[in-house]
A and B are shown apart, each in its own frame.
Chain A
Amino acid sequence: MGAFEYRQAQEIRDCFQLHRIRYLFIGKSGAILLGFPDTTQDADIFVEKTAENCNALVAALLELGFALNDAQAAEVRRGKDFIQLKNGPFDLDLVFAPDGIERFADAWGRRVEVEGFPVCHIDDIIASKAATNRQKDRESLPRLRSFREYWLQRRAN
C-alpha cells in the first residue's frame, strides 16, 4: 500500500458526488486540503449517519475497489462510529461520530469547499483533535492553531 494520492482523493470526491454522499474530510487530511503543511498517513472522512447515506456509501466504496464482504458492508450500513478500511486501493478511516463535534449537520453548515472537496472548517478539525486527548494530536495542536490564525487572515483578505 502506497501513500494516499491526489488522484485517489479525486476518485473519492467524484464517486461520492455521483452517489450523493454527504461527507467531509476531517483530521489532518482535512487540514492539508485547507493548506496546512504537514504530513499524515491517513485519509479521514466524516460521514453523515443516515440510512440512505450509509447505503450509498457502501455502493461507492465497492465501486472504488474496497473489498467489503457482506458482514463488513452491513457494519458500514449501520454506521458504526469508527471504521478502518485497509482492504481497498488506499487506506481510509470512516468516522461517523468524531470527538468534539456534536452533530454532522453543524459541521456541514460550517464546511469549506476546496476544489470540490468538502472539508470540515478548521475550527471543527481543531475541536475534534483537541477532544481526542491523544499524544499525536496534542503535538500537532499548537501548529494547527497557528495555521488557523493564518488561514482566517487569508480568508478575510
Chain B
Amino acid sequence: MDAFELHDKPALNSSDSDAAIPAEWLVEFEAAARRPLETRFRYAFIHTYKPVLDDAPFRAFETTADYRRWCDENLPDWLGYGSV
C-alpha cells in the first residue's frame, strides 16, 4: 500500500525543482504543502450556485458519454462543462 503524507515532507528548494514549473506556481505548491490538510480544504472548496446543474437534487446517467452530452446540451457555455 502506497502511503504518502505530503505535509510531512520537507519543502523543495526552487533550485531542486523542475525548470518547467513556473516559479509562481512552485511558490504556491510549496505554501500548500506546508498547510495542514484541513486548512487546504478550507481554502480549496467553495460553493457558488451553478444554474441548471444545481437545480435538481439527483441525476443519474447510464453512461459517462450520456452525462457529457447532457452537459453540452443543457448547461450554459460559461460554466465550462461543455466539450471543447
Residue positions of A touching B, CB distance < 8 A: 1-6, 9, 29, 32-41, 43, 67-68, 72, 75-76, 80-87, 91, 95, 97-99, 110-115, 132-136, 138-139, 143, 146-147, 149-151, 153-155, 157
Chain A residues closer than 8 Å to B84, beta-carbon distance: 133-135, 138
Q: Are A41 and B4 in contact (CB under 8 A)?
A: no
Chain B residues touching A, majority SS: mixed
B: interface residue count bin: 35 or more
Main secondary structure, interface of A, reads mixed
* Total A-B residue contacts, Cβ distance less than 8 Å: 169
Residues of B28-70 contacting chain A, CB below 8 A: 28-29, 31-33, 37-38, 40-48, 50, 53-54, 56-64, 66-68
| B29 contacts A81, C-beta separation under 8 Å | no
CA distance A132 to B7 in the complex (A): 30
